[in-house]
Structure 1
Amino acid sequence: MLLQWELVNSEVFSSSANIEMLVAAQDLMMLEMETYVRREESRLAAIKRSLERIRNETHLAPSSSSSLSASRHFSTASYVGHPVNALHIISRWGDVQEQASMGGDLWTVTRRELHTDLSVTLPDSRDFFGSIEALVRLQETYQLPTSELANGVVHGDSADHPMSGFEMYAMGKASLRAGSFGQAVQWLDLAIAAKDGSFSPEDAMADLADAYQLIADYSTAVNVLQLAHENAPGNEAIASKLEDFRRINNTMGSTKAKTAWRRPKLKSTKAYEALCRGEQLKLPDVDSEQQALKCRYKPGILPFVRYKEEMLNRKPHIVLFHDVMSDAEAKTMKMEAMHKLERAHVADNENKHGHSASAKRISQVSWLWDDHANKTIHQLSRRVADITGLQTGVVSGLHSAEPFQILNYGIGGQYEPHVDYFAGNHSHSSLPEHVRASGNRLATFMFYLNDVHAGGATVFPKLKVGIPPTKNGAAFWYNIGLNGDVDPLTEHAGCPVLLGQKWVANKWIHEHGQDQYRTCRAPYS
């Protein structure tokens, strides 16, 4: 220890007066050290409490060596497939990082090891609020009761524990921003009643008053603010808002206002969400065109191979192929894409790169070319060609199809209504030149790599057609008609994933090289 001391210009040992001053300072030094020790003990106790809570919530039990390597009592994939569990995981990491960051350099090293050794990306506040917004979207789309979701129940499946008061408060604020005013009232009421000390109840009451005002319940808005003011009489912001709301109530209170439970939605949005819930689908027993649909064994290019084909729509041609890949092939595609996933983007003509991240598309994406080191990727591309009768390889130096686009959808993952064909000069500007030069996207072939417990359907709003994600199956449709024109009826969407995970692999087939392969007659004619 003494060898670690540094030599300084000032001396103490050479003066007895200085040494006497050290004796006098000892009591103060001991007091400061004792305060420091108590503070550190308090911090470590808080970390231990967080650790114990996390261990209990995630069903982890210490092993005989008191390490964290004990086995889990649940399937990880199934666990994170529940959106409330996924939210809890992200929330807990926020708590862990807040506590651990007080450890200084040790946490910096640990964080670096997690990223380098395990390729783990740690969440931040954007992930928490993104998860909250996704849950609000799920509640809106699938009309989930607030009381059930707050208790962690989704589609009859329970999370490991209910939402915390802070999570419910965040749900209330997000619902307010999304225009779901009545839903916001329900969440904020529950959050205030939780009384878990994780947020200011007066702030929550102020937000609750805003929600009541937006559904035209002015008197209740004033009453809520009055209670908040009584609880925090020194809060000038609440006092000022209370005066404003009183004036509004005096003006509007006698007026019979029409209650707006939420901000109006576009007709197209309501139709899309109804299809995601399985409503408004075409029914074969009432639709004459749908009555003509059928299933068959479709011959491929190879004469001895047949594929199970279910016709879903005639014009445009939309089908679902069953059992066209094996479990091992699906697993290979997921494993090869796993460590290359990045946030998916949408076309954006105002962005200099031609694309940007958007709430319209919540997923992560990876690309696998046919010449990938794993031969399975090439074999699956050849299978797409065999099933569809179209080229998927290189023709005259140009690619007749894009690489496989592997998509993994997270909490409330979705892709709002869109078309796959290129509709503008900038919509495919991010693609390599040899792909852009191969024409428009003639057709879409989409492998479903796993089953989804609830939600996640592929729907065509203008056709009222829905395709449930079917493990080892594949959807196929033409984006361009026989006359060469793009078909706006092929507008489709990936519904939010309600329970479980969703993996798909898209293969977009281009016009180039298909002259001798796509016949001029419509299928089944």
Structure 2
Amino acid sequence: MRALGLGLGVPLLLLLLLLLPPPPPAPAETYTAMLSVRRALGSEGRLLRRLRAYLREESARLRRLARFYEKVQALHQDPKASVDNPLLAFSLIKRLHSDWPNVIYSDEATENTQALHAGFKEVEQELPGAEDLDGAARALMRLQDVYALSVKGMANGVFQPAGASRPPLYSPGRRVSLSADDCFHVGKVAYDTGDYYHSIAWLEEAVSLFRLSYGSWNPEDRSSLEDALDHLAFSYFMAGNISHALSLSKEFLHYDPSNRRVARNVAKYEKLLETGMAASAGPLRRPNGTRLQSRDAYEELCQRPGGQPSPEQIPRLSCSYETNGSPYLLLQPAKKEVVRIRPYVALYHDFISDAEAETIKGLAGPWLQRSVVASGEKQQKAEYRISKSAWLKDTADPVVRVLELRIAAVTGLDLRPPYAEYLQVVNYGLGGHYEPHFDHATSRKSPLYRMKSGNRIATVMIYLSAVEAGGSTAFIHANFSVPVVKNAALFWWNLRRNGDGDGDTLHAGCPVLAGDKWVANKWIHEHGQEFRRPCSTDPRD
């Protein structure tokens, strides 16, 4: 929904904002924005407090039980404590008649458990759903792929490129390892979609970890060594590696010899190997779920943030203080860095202050909804764009209005309605990304043309936060990337002067490896800019 875009007066809107609570997060949308992930951390904090209270009450109950046990046990072990004593005889009869039933059938344990259940019910609606868990698993696989990370390293809390002696891409302050059950779930998400490339890597790690801890039990685990062996064996079978599927299935039967289904699988695998019908296992190929044609170039750029300019462009690149002929910039010129000549891309440093960035994030936060992409004449959610976004009108807050004036001054373009879209604020999710795309419409059926102000001529993307790793903006055909620079604004032309789309502006938001990435996008349309960016004498320009 477009925040504050309802045509109401400003005082009434502010009153509504004060009176109405923020909308609850949509089901199965936690993983698509780090703001939602942080809110989930608060929900777990409430559960921790409930569990602490439960443990406190249960510990007190168990201490009382221990005192009862020690008292009775002491009587049984004391040779002088004879039931010939009428008082001891009375206490024995009383204990057996009433004390023991009171202990055994006490409601105290049930009441403690019910209180814990009630606490869970209070936050249950806020908790991530199954789609969130699967989305988080896919995020780990995305990071594994794009940054060529070692699965074993990720399971050990290390973000190390696979098969490389390079330093880790990210070193967290506290290293957190994944459990066998964690790795199993990631592998099973891949397994359930027939993606055996990823299922084998993650299930192998799950099997290794389960083997190390076999015999111990964790109350939070839902899977076991047998589960991991079963799924891994079938993954290898589907990948054509029959001999390994056979050895894993035999290991399974060692732990569960009565399992008839796995026994039948063993017989099937042995027959295939004996008759020579088993196809030789070829190298596993990584699936391309979104059919991304430029995947290799995209991933190489994401792994190489801040791509170096070509030698012939270096003399033409520059940094300068710019006023752009605007009185608005006379006292505080813009700090402009020309990043690329073709396509023309410039980075304006310190374009926004910390306070302004926090204000914009705060305004957008309650209105964030899953980001969508154009699909013909419609818009829909897509796996190749993982984020949430909200739209802010310039009347939302004076900070938004000032920011729009600053954009107009720096670009020299007309931002008055309908020549520009509202400010879009985006918060990326777990492994949040946006695969290669154009900002301008490539079809006249695009929803962009509903504004009746032409195509998107230019983009201004403001980095509202820093990230610890990843998240670069990669220009695929132009072969360079721009790392996240907090409070800076990235500007580029989407259209050539003749109105055609510039194919060199194909760009992507690389997955966020670590951190909380926020950006604000301002898309400016071609109508109203005829005299601000006139056509060239060269029709090809």
TM-score range, shorter chain: 0.7 to 0.9
Letter in 1 for 2:298: Y
Local SS of the residue matching 2:322: strand
Name the counterpart of 1:201.
225
Letter in 2 for 1:151: N
Name the counterpart of 1:320.
347
Report the Cα distance in structure 1 between the residues aligned to 2:411 and 2:276, rounded to whole angstroms: 64
Deviations 1:144-196 (A, max 9, x none): 22222112233222546321221111122234444335523533333433445
Deviations 1:16-41 (A, max 9, x none): xxxxxxxxxxx9xx979955838627
Deviations 1:335-380 (A, max 9, x none): 1111111111112238xxx1222111111111101122x1110110
Conservation of the 8 A alpha-carbon contact between 1:181 and 1:215: no
Conservation of the 8 A alpha-carbon contact between 1:389 and 1:517: yes
Report the Cα distance in structure 1 between the residues aligned to 2:402 and 2:433, rounded to whole angstroms: 29
Is the aligned partner of 1:276 residue 2:291? no
Name the counterpart of 1:8.
none
Deviations 1:459-480 (A, max 9, x none): 0111111011101101111111
Letter in 1 for 2:347: L
Residue 377 of structure 1: which of 400, 419, 424 is its match? Answer: 400
CA positional deviation for 1:291: 4.3
Q: Which moved more, 1:464-473 or 1:244-253?
A: 244-253
Local SS of the residue matching 2:313: helix
Question: Alpha carbons of 1:186 and 1:232: their partners in 2 closer, same or farther (altered >3 Å)?
Answer: closer
Name the counterpart of 2:68.
none
Is the aligned partner of 1:348 residue 2:418? no
Is the aligned partner of 1:472 residue 2:487? yes
Question: Alpha carbons of 1:348 and 1:362: their partners in 2 closer, same or farther (altered >3 Å)?
Answer: same
Name the counterpart of 1:246.
270
Conservation of the 8 A alpha-carbon contact between 1:457 and 1:469: yes
Name the counterpart of 1:40.
110
Question: Alpha carbons of 1:36 and 1:340: their partners in 2 closer, same or farther (altered >3 Å)?
Answer: farther
CA positional deviation for 1:498: 0.6
Residue 204 of structure 2: which of 169, 186, 189 is its match? Answer: 186
Question: Alpha carbons of 1:306 and 1:184: their partners in 2 closer, same or farther (altered >3 Å)?
Answer: same
Question: Alpha carbons of 1:330 and 1:252: their partners in 2 closer, same or farther (altered >3 Å)?
Answer: farther
Name the counterpart of 1:515.
530
Is the aligned partner of 1:500 residue 2:505? no
Question: Alpha carbons of 1:453 and 1:301: their partners in 2 closer, same or farther (altered >3 Å)?
Answer: same
Question: Alpha carbons of 1:256 and 1:386: their partners in 2 closer, same or farther (altered >3 Å)?
Answer: same
Question: Alpha carbons of 1:232 and 1:306: their partners in 2 closer, same or farther (altered >3 Å)?
Answer: same
Q: Which moved more, 1:248-257 or 1:442-451?
A: 248-257
Local SS of the residue matching 1:157: coil
Report the Cα distance in structure 1 between the residues aligned to 2:292 and 2:414, rounded to whole angstroms: 39
Conservation of the 8 A alpha-carbon contact between 1:182 and 1:215: no
Is the aligned partner of 1:146 residue 2:146? no
Is the aligned partner of 1:306 residue 2:311? no
Report the Cα distance in structure 2 between the residues aligned to 1:36 and 1:426, rounded to whole angstroms: 70
CA positional deviation for 1:282: 5.5
Name the counterpart of 2:10.
none
Report the Cα distance in structure 2 between the residues aligned to 1:152 and 1:31, rounded to whole angstroms: 50
Report the Cα distance in structure 1 between the residues aligned to 2:251 and 2:400, rounded to whole angstroms: 63
Report the Cα distance in structure 1 between the residues aligned to 2:301 and 2:509, rounded to whole angstroms: 11
Conservation of the 8 A alpha-carbon contact between 1:295 and 1:311: yes
Name the counterpart of 2:431.
412
Q: Which moved more, 1:479-488 or 1:172-181?
A: 172-181
Report the Cα distance in structure 2 between the residues aligned to 1:505 and 1:322, rounded to whole angstroms: 15
Conservation of the 8 A alpha-carbon contact between 2:184 and 2:203: no
Report the Cα distance in structure 1 between the residues aligned to 2:339 and 2:510, rounded to whole angstroms: 18
Name the counterpart of 1:422.
441
Report the Cα distance in structure 2 between the residues aligned to 1:231 and 1:164, rounded to whole angstroms: 21
CA positional deviation for 1:232: 1.9
Local SS of the residue matching 1:504: strand
Report the Cα distance in structure 2 between the residues aligned to 1:282 and 1:153, rounded to whole angstroms: 24
Report the Cα distance in structure 2 between the residues aligned to 1:166 and 1:366, rounded to whole angstroms: 36
CA positional deviation for 1:268: 1.2
Is the aligned partner of 1:133 residue 2:138? yes
Conservation of the 8 A alpha-carbon contact between 2:203 and 2:228: no
Report the Cα distance in structure 1 between the residues aligned to 2:419 and 2:240, rounded to whole angstroms: 57
Name the counterpart of 2:284.
260
Conservation of the 8 A alpha-carbon contact between 1:324 and 1:474: yes
Is the aligned partner of 1:388 residue 2:411? yes
Q: Structure 2, unaligned stretches of length 5 or more?
A: 1-96, 160-169
Q: TM-score, normalised by structure 2?
A: 0.70
Conservation of the 8 A alpha-carbon contact between 2:426 and 2:519: yes
Name the counterpart of 1:401.
420
Conservation of the 8 A alpha-carbon contact between 1:184 and 1:211: no
Question: Alpha carbons of 1:160 and 1:180: their partners in 2 closer, same or farther (altered >3 Å)?
Answer: closer
Q: TM-score, normalised by structure 1?
A: 0.72
Count of residues in correspondence between the two structures: 417
Report the Cα distance in structure 2 between the residues aligned to 1:494 and 1:288, rounded to whole angstroms: 26
Report the Cα distance in structure 1 between the residues aligned to 2:352 and 2:303, rounded to whole angstroms: 28
Local SS of the residue matching 1:360: coil
Report the Cα distance in structure 1 between the residues aligned to 2:492 and 2:251, rounded to whole angstroms: 59
Conservation of the 8 A alpha-carbon contact between 2:181 and 2:224: no
Question: Alpha carbons of 1:250 and 1:321: their partners in 2 closer, same or farther (altered >3 Å)?
Answer: farther
Letter in 2 for 1:411: L
Report the Cα distance in structure 2 between the residues aligned to 1:502 and 1:251, rounded to whole angstroms: 56
Question: Alpha carbons of 1:238 and 1:315: their partners in 2 closer, same or farther (altered >3 Å)?
Answer: same
Residue 442 of structure 1: which of 457, 461, 467 is its match? Answer: 457
CA positional deviation for 1:489: 1.8
Conservation of the 8 A alpha-carbon contact between 2:204 and 2:232: no
Report the Cα distance in structure 1 between the residues aligned to 2:253 and 2:106, rounded to whole angstroms: 38
Alpha-carbon RMSD across the aligned residues, in angstroms, is: 3.1
Local SS of the residue matching 2:447: coil
CA positional deviation for 1:518: 1.2
Conservation of the 8 A alpha-carbon contact between 1:417 and 1:493: yes
Letter in 1 for 2:353: S
Name the counterpart of 1:71.
none
CA positional deviation for 1:239: 2.8
Deviations 1:387-414 (A, max 9, x none): 00101113xxxx1100111000121010
Higher RCO, 1 vs 2 (CA within 8 Å, ≥6 residues apart): 2
Report the Cα distance in structure 1 between the residues aligned to 2:326 and 2:354, rounded to whole angstroms: 22
Q: Structure 1, unaligned stretches of length 5 or more?
A: 1-26, 48-99, 116-120
Q: Which moved more, 1:184-193 or 1:325-334?
A: 184-193
Letter in 2 for 1:276: C
Question: Alpha carbons of 1:380 and 1:42: their partners in 2 closer, same or farther (altered >3 Å)?
Answer: closer
Name the counterpart of 1:13.
none
Residue 382 of structure 2: which of 325, 346, 358 is its match? Answer: 358
CA positional deviation for 1:270: 1.6
Question: Alpha carbons of 1:467 and 1:235: their partners in 2 closer, same or farther (altered >3 Å)?
Answer: same
Conservation of the 8 A alpha-carbon contact between 1:225 and 1:238: yes
Name the counterpart of 1:297.
321
CA positional deviation for 1:446: 0.4
Name the counterpart of 1:217.
241
Identity of aligned residues (%): 34
Question: Alpha carbons of 1:495 and 1:418: their partners in 2 closer, same or farther (altered >3 Å)?
Answer: same
Local SS of the residue matching 1:355: strand
